[in-house]
């Protein structure tokens, strides 16, 4: 009887350990299938532009774009197995270069969520975070890798379609009017050479700009994210094009650079500089302010 109880206990432990592993792998497979389908839809939209001279900028929303592609026989009905909804991204429709997102895998929304705003820098950041987390864990487990963090990002963007992870979006998706008010006041207290009105004007201009959230991996494996004007070279050559930035995401918080003049923010910091000093030391020394 005792032996039977031991066997049952061992089986119970094995089941408890294997279920999370199986669930994780199943969801990873679903994510891959969903991503492949969105890539197929993106290529179909591009084909429609090339072969049928379709001007997507004339289409008002995602529903019209998807309906048109179905009518043309370029795509079939597809449902994300994780319960997400695939949609054509609004900014890509306006640009005439349609790309597609999933409310679950890209935006982090659970099935049934009914928020209207499906795009935004918050979702772009989460999309990058999820993808890089899985990729980084696989990378460091491979003993053949040099643990070169720059090489990791180069390989990631060469092996994945960078357009799925690096998208231009308005900074206002993360920098709200309330946050601008608070930042202007805090920055005015630290930089009295500029009035709150001047600072607010600069921040509003920055918030209305369209930038890309890009990643950088520090030597200790921490991944920081920052806004860049041009991420087009990621994965296309030996450089990951770590350009300067005025706004950076670290340890769950966005940080804003101080004023450089009465009409612009400082924009001379490279994320790679964090390899010589910690982010917290840098933010304190250079006067960067947390966006709360």
Shared-domain flag, residues 166 and 223 = yes
What is the per-residue pLDDT across 116-130, written as a single tens digit (0 to 9) for each?
333 334 567 777 877
Question: How large is the greatest C-alpha to C-alpha distance in the chain, in angstroms?
Answer: 82
User: Rounded distance, CA 198 to CA 141, Å?
Assistant: 50
pLDDT at 56 over 70: yes
Domain shared by 100 and 27, yes or no: yes
Q: Residue 106: which CATH number?
A: 3.30.1300.80
| DSSP conformation class of 233 | T
Element (H, E) at 216: strand 210-217
* Reported confidence tier of residue 169, pLDDT bands at 50, 70, 90: confident
What is residue 142's predicted lDDT score, i.e. its pLDDT? 67
* Residues 103 and 149 occupy one common structural domain: no
Given 112, 139, 165, the domain boundary residue is 112
- Clarify whether residues 204 and 280 are in a common domain: yes
Same domain, yes or no: 106 and 127: no
State how many domains the chain has: 2
The last residue of one of the domains, among 96, 112, 128, is 112
Instruction: Residue 106: give the domain boundaries.
Output: 1-112
Tell me: do 272 and 228 sit in the same domain.
yes
Q: Token digits for 17?
A: 């350990």
Please tell me whether the overall predicted TM-score, pTM, comes out greater than 0.85 for this model. Answer: no
Same domain, 138 and 269: yes
Co-location of 108 and 139 in the same domain = no
Which of 68, 92, 112 is where one domain is finished?
Answer: 112
């Amino acid at each position: 009887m005792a032996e039977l109880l031991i066997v049952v206990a061992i089986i119970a432990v094995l089941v408890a350990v294997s279920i999370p592993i199986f669930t994780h792998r199943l969801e990873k497979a679903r994510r891959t299938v969903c991503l492949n389908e969105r890539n197929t839809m993106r290529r179909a939209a591009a084909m429609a532009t090339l072969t049928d001279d379709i001007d997507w900028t004339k289409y008002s929303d995602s529903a019209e774009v998807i309906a048109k592609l179905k009518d043309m026989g370029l795509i079939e009905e597809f449902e994300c197995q994780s319960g997400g909804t695939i949609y054509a991204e609004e900014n890509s429709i306006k640009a005439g270069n349609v790309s597609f997102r999933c409310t679950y895998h890209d935006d982090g929304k659970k099935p049934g969520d009914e928020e209207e705003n499906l795009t935004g820098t918050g979702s772009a950041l989460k999309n990058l975070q999820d993808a890089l987390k899985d990729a980084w864990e696989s990378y460091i487990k491979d003993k053949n890798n040099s643990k070169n963090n720059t090489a990791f990002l180069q390989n990631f963007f060469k092996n994945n379609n960078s357009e799925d992870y690096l998208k231009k979006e308005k900074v206002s998706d993360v920098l709200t009017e309330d946050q601008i008010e608070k930042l202007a006041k805090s920055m005015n207290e630290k930089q009295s050479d500029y009035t709150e009105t001047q600072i607010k004007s600069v921040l509003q201009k920055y918030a209305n700009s369209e930038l890309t959230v890009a990643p950088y991996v520090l030597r200790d494996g921490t991944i920081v994210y920052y806004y860049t004007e041009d991420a087009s070279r990621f994965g296309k050559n030996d450089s990951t094009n770590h350009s300067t930035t005025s706004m950076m995401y670290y340890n769950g918080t966005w940080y804003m650079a101080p004023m450089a003049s009465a009409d612009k923010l400082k924009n001379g910091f490279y994320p790679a500089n964090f390899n010589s000093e910690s982010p917290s030391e840098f933010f304190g020394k250079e006067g960067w302010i947390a966006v709360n």
